[in-house]
Amino acid sequence: MALEKTWRWFGSGDSVRLSDLAQIGVEGVVTALHHIPNGEVWPVEEILKVKHQIEAHGMRWSVVESLPVSEGIKIQSADCPRLLQNYQSSLRNLGACGIDTVCYNFMPVLDWVRTDLHYLLPGGGEVMYFDFPTFVAFDVFVLQRPGAAGDYPETVVKRAEAVFASMDAAAAEALAHNIIVVTQGFIDGAVDGSRPEYKHLFLDLIARYQGIDAPRLRAHLAHFLHSVVPVAEESGVRLCIHPDDPPFPVLGLPRIVSTLEDLEWICNQYDSVSNGISFCTGSLSVRRDNDLAEIARRLSARIHFAHLRNNQFTEDGFYESGHLEGSIDMFPLVKILLEEQRRRRAEGRKDTRMPFRPDHGVKLLDDMHRMANPGYPLIGRMKGMAELAGMQAAIERILDA
Ligand code: DNO
């Protein structure tokens, strides 16, 4: 059996309707209660409204992405106990409504990062790019984060200086706005992008991590896991942490969900199927020392959700190259996930259908005129979903033979 075909949908404001998804063969929806402020409890009535809306179109609410972990939990502010209680209540409410898979991340301040949201492919499609020197230009020269230059090799800072010199004021502002607001706002980001002083607010959030290095952030994550995994377990919910994107420290902040070692450490903090991971090929593959097949094989029993996407590496970064084309060999990874489903069936586990979503997509054709969050075009994702479904059908035939 193929993986469950799911699709990230941003709620009734999304330009793609649930009826469109039913038409293109989506089986499950990945969404969140985006209207509930970060840190507040998700009430049963609100969960049920969305669940029923999805079910009315013949699909199910397969995955919550994300139930956001507030900054107060990551830094253990005075508010942390209340935020943890709220997180537990939301998990209980989700479980009571039969929503069983919850994705979250533990990245300080910033979720994913790209420096160019409109990179043109030779054929005319548009994708997102991460260019390291441009990112350093943002950090050191546009944001002017105190001490930033010391976090990078001198040669890179020199190149970043040249990048910055080539930008006019509008381009520098657009770069900051893309990184802090445009890519974060729609996923319940930490910064209120509507405020003109958004760069200062962002710097203030970063400053709150003073003294929080990787071991300390790990201790905070362990505390979070010990508080919420037992509740998830009781509620019939499987949590799955999303890896860092990109999987290395940015802005002088630690990132602790980047490697096999990190993921094994997380799984070992609390030995339960409810303490799982989201296998995001696009995020993990950016580190060339990550062996994705090895990660998938070692952790397969804890993978509850797959984000499938490819990258093309360049000398200074990477761009999102679609789903099958690019630097990642998708075939062995998809095969491991399909084999894991078979293993679960043989073991008698109930969660034998693993949801996957085509993660991001190339902006194509009519996508150019349709409103969408960065990375989430309709046609490009639909193409990716079809390609990945075809690959799965072929692998299943091979496994059956
Ligand atoms: C970006 C997404 C991430 C992801 C979160 C999961 O497009 O992949 O924002 O949803 O990190 O918690």
- The number of helices, as runs of H, and strands, as runs of E, in the chain is 14, 12
Distance of alpha carbon 64 from alpha carbon 238, whole angstroms? 10
The residue among 341, 321, 328 whose CA lies nearest residue 293 is 328
The per-residue DSSP string of 311-361 comes to EEEETTEEEEEESSSSSS-HHHHHHHHHHHHHHHHHHT-S--S-EEEE-S-
> Does residue 386 carry a pLDDT above 90?
yes
State both tokens at 380.
């490009």
Last residue of a domain, one of 207, 240, 261: 207
Q: How far is C-alpha 280 from the geometric centre of its chain's CA atoms?
A: 7
Residues 368, 329: one domain?
yes
Token pair 């980001």 is found at: 189
**CA dist list (Å): 40 to 37, 227, 231:** 6, 17, 17
pTM of structure: 0.97
Tokens, residue 295: 């990660």
CATH number for the domain spanning 310: value is 3.20.20.150
Indicate whether 253 and 342 sit together in one domain. Answer: yes
Contact 203, 252 (CB under 8 A): no
State which of 161, 188, 207 marks the end of a domain: 207
Return the pLDDT at 251: 96
Give me the helices (H) in 10-168, please: 18-23, 44-55, 71-74, 80-96, 132-137, 154-165
Q: In what order do the strands lie in the sheet with 310-314?
A: 116-120, 126-131, 317-322, 310-314
Q: Could you give phi then psi for residue 354, rounded to 5 degrees?
A: -90, 125
User: What is the C-alpha to C-alpha distance for residues 361 and 82, in angstroms, rounded to an integer?
Assistant: 38
Position 264 scores a pLDDT of 98
Residues having CB within 6 Å of any atom of ligand 1: 65-66, 103-105, 111-112, 187, 242, 375
pLDDT per residue as tens digits for the range 249-287: 999 999 999 999 999 999 999 999 999 999 999 999 999
Claim to verify: residue 262 and residue 335 sit in the same structural domain: yes
Output the CA torsion 385→387→392→393 (10° steps).
110
Residues 189 and 337 in one domain: no
Which residue type sits at 224?
F
Ligand 1 site-directed mutation target among 30, 63, 245, most atoms within 8 Å of CB? 245
Q: List the catalytic residue out of 220, 242, 304, 323.
A: 242
pLDDT (tens digit per residue) in 90-145: 999 999 999 999 999 999 999 999 999 999 999 999 999 999 999 999 999 999 99
Residues 264 and 384 in one domain: yes
Catalytic residue chosen out of the listed positions 97, 280, 304, 319 = 280
User: In terms of residue numbers, what domain contains 176?
Assistant: 116-207
Give per-residue pLDDT as tens, 301-351.
Answer: 999 999 999 999 999 999 999 999 999 999 999 999 999 999 999 999 999
C-alpha–C-alpha distance, residues 169 and 190, integer Å: 25
Question: Following DSSP, what letter does each residue of 228-247 receive, concatenated?
Answer: HHHHHHHHT-EEEEPPPSSS
Tell how far the Cα of 262 is from the centroid of ligand 1, in angstroms. 18
Query: Are the CB atoms for 30 and 62 separated by under 8 Å?
Result: yes
Measured over all CA atoms, what is the biggest interatomic distance in the chain, rounded to whole angstroms? Answer: 61
Q: Residue 37, exposed/middle/buried by CB under 10 A (0-12, 13-18, 19+)?
A: exposed
One domain for residues 247 and 366: yes
Q: For residue 280, which atom of ligand 1 is closest to its CA?
A: 8
Reply yes or no on whether 271 is catalytic.
no
Residue at which a domain ends, from 207, 240, 266: 207
Question: Is the confidence at residue 385, as pLDDT, over 80?
Answer: yes
Coil vs helix vs strand at 305 = strand
DSSP structural state of residue 67: -
Q: For residue 194, what pLDDT is reported?
A: 78
Are both 144 and 93 inside the same structural domain? no
297 and 256: one domain? yes
Q: How far apart are the first and last CA of the chain?
A: 14
34 noted as active-site residue: no
Please state, for a pLDDT cut of 70, what percent of the chain lies above it: 100
52 is catalytic: no
User: Residue 348 Cα, ligand 1 centroid: separation in angstroms?
Assistant: 31
Domains: count for the chain: 2
Distance between Cα 294 and ligand 1 center (Å): 22
Q: Which of 188, 307, 319, 323 is catalytic?
A: 307
Length of the chain: 401
Tell me the average pLDDT of the chain.
Answer: 96
Q: What is the pLDDT of residues 172-218, one digit of tens each?
A: 999 999 999 999 888 877 787 778 889 999 999 999 999 999 999 99
222 and 349 housed in the same domain: yes
Do 97 and 203 reside in the same domain of the chain?
no
Ligand 1 atom closest to Cα of 8?
A: 10
**Residues 136, 218: one domain?**
no
Give 112 Cα–ligand 1 centroid separation in angstroms: 7
Are the C-beta atoms of 284 and 290 separated by less than 8 Å? yes
Ligand 1 test: best mutation among 187, 305, 307, most atoms within 8 Å of CB?
187
Instruction: Quote the pLDDT of residue 196.
Output: 83
* 168 counts as catalytic: no
Of the residues 87, 129, 152, 376, only one is catalytic, namely 376
In this structure, are 221 and 337 located in the same domain? Answer: yes
Instruction: Give the pLDDT of residue 195.
Output: 82
| Residue 271 host element (H or E) | none
